[in-house]
Amino acid sequence: MKRSTFKILFYINRNKQKKNGKCPVLGRITIDGTNTQFSVKADTLPELWSVEKGCSIGRSKECKELNLKLENYKEDLKCHYNKQVRGS
């Protein structure tokens, strides 16, 4: 059986900065070299985003809620991927 690769990345689109200074948060799923992108339906300030960690680095309630949302997305996506790989 061939081994499959699976990666989830969260990032901000700095090219689509809104009037309030925030940028939309997007996600990218890559499976075996093929990727798809999706909107997380959240925004954050560019200075509060860590490219290396793929999450917000602020300590505000808004930043914590965004990080929780991203973590929930990540867990749900891993769960769906594992179900598909197992064939259940």
pLDDT digits (tens, 9 = 90+) for 25-81: 999 999 999 999 999 999 999 999 999 999 999 899 999 999 999 999 999 999 999
Of 19, 20, 12, nearest to 46 by C-alpha is 12
> What residue segments make up the domains of the chain, in order of their start?
6-86
What is the predicted pLDDT for the residue at 3? 67
pTM for the model: 0.89
Indicate whether 1 pLDDT > 70: no
CA-angle at 35, arms to 68 and 4, nearest 5°? 90
Indicate whether 4 pLDDT > 90: no
**Is-contact 30 13, C-beta < 8 A?**
no
